[in-house]
Amino acid sequence: MKNLMNVIVISAFGLGVTPAYSQGSEARNIKINNHNEHNINMLQCAKTAIKKHPGAVIEAEFEKKDDKFIFEVEVQGKDGKNWEVICDAITGDVIKDEEDKKDKKEGEKEEKK
């Protein structure tokens, strides 16, 4: 009986080390393995974006770019500027923080220093 309990405990802890994300055969086929962790990390990225740029979140996306899972959060600041904050979906680190200038062409964003 004691061995059975050890196996159950070990199995339960083993479930906790499942990677948060995996990818199927197609590039857009991303599987979220740990929904709670995913939601907590996305909310943390949104909170970070609002803390850096007080205002309102107008869009939040989850995607894979350059073999990295990311959250891309767009904020409309109280100052009238639009900001794009990109966080690593696994670590929560901010990868990019830049102003999204409407008068610039796509891909020519001014990075905040």
Q: Tens digit of pLDDT for each residue in 47-91?
A: 999 999 999 999 999 999 888 899 999 999 999 999 999 999 988
User: How far, in Å, CA of 100 to CA of 108, rounded?
Assistant: 9
Asked if the model's pLDDT at residue 21 lies above 90, the reply is no
Domain count across the chain: 1
Q: Give the pLDDT of residue 94.
A: 95
Q: Residue 40: give its domain's CATH number.
A: 3.10.450.40
Nearest one of 82, 79, 56, 59 to 71, comparing CA atoms: 59
Q: Look up the domain containing 81 and give its range.
A: 2-111
Residue 78, pLDDT score: 96
Whether this model's pTM surpasses 0.85 = no
pLDDT average, residue stretch 32-61 = 93
